[in-house]
Copies of this chain bind each other. A is one copy, B any other.
């Protein structure tokens, strides 16, 4: 529901930021290490956020770019992989490299990263490889957004992924990919 926060960084303690918005409400945002290093106390920032509501309470996670947030959301869908571990993985390697390692099923490489056991690396590759290497889609974000849009329109994920794989051509924008996929699905 809360997809982003822009405001002034009141305080930085490790990777937890306090960001004051114009209304006077200060949000506590848990980030990956690079994101927190990129912002300065007293400076303005805009973070792509994810609002997590669970038994442990309400936590707002924040990222300096959308790709890291998308990767965080994908990692937290992996079984027995919670937000803290996802954050640790993203803190120890840049997003592009991680996506490439997962797409190329590089279990070895992944398990060398702090916070990823061999078992966790295998689960990540097994559960996410389709998503990342599917149709050799260069831009994982466009793939992700189109899939999410089709699913939120009620199409089962499997059909949506099939359609995106069939109609994708290099250079397509998200809106074009969705339109082509909808046409493909309506003729099924």
How many chain A residues touch B (CB < 8 A): the figure is 52
Distance in angstroms between the alpha carbons of A74 and B59 in the assembled complex: 18
For residues 1 through 34 of chain A, which have their beta carbon under 8 Å from a beta carbon of chain B?
1-7, 10, 12-16, 18, 20-28, 30, 33
Residue A172 at the chain B interface, CB threshold 8 Å = no
- A152 partner residues in chain B, CB cutoff 8 A: 14-16, 30, 84, 87
Q: Is the CB of B175 within 8 A of A12?
A: yes
Q: Is the CB of A2 within 8 A of B14?
A: no
Query: What sequence of 0s and 1s flags, for each residue 152-183 of chain A, a beta carbon within 8 Å of any chain B beta carbon?
Result: 11100000000000000000001100100000
Stretch at the interface among A50-58, A99-107, A123-131, A132-140: A50-58
- A145 partner residues in chain B, CB cutoff 8 A: 13-14, 16
Q: Is the CB of B3 within 8 A of A26?
A: yes
Residue A111 at the chain B interface, CB threshold 8 Å = no
Q: Is the CB of A146 within 8 A of B6?
A: no
Interface centre among A2, A4, A15 (most CB of B within 10 A): A4
Q: Is the CB of A24 within 8 A of B5?
A: yes
Residue A114 at the chain B interface, CB threshold 8 Å = yes
**Given A87-B153, A88-B153, A154-B85, A25-B5 contact (CB < 8 Å):** yes
Q: Is the CB of B4 within 8 A of A26?
A: yes
Q: Is the CB of A148 within 8 A of B16?
A: yes
Closest residue of chain B to A15 (Cβ to Cβ) is: B149
Distance in angstroms between the alpha carbons of A4 and B178 in the assembled complex: 27
Query: What sequence of 0s and 1s flags, for each residue 61-104 of chain A, a beta carbon within 8 Å of any chain B beta carbon?
Result: 00000000000000000000000110110010000000000000
Q: Is the CB of B14 within 8 A of A178?
A: yes
Q: Is the CB of A4 within 8 A of B15?
A: no
**A-B pairs with lowest CB-CB distance, top 9:** A14-B149, A4-B26, A13-B145, A3-B28, A88-B154, A23-B23, A21-B24, A6-B24, A84-B154
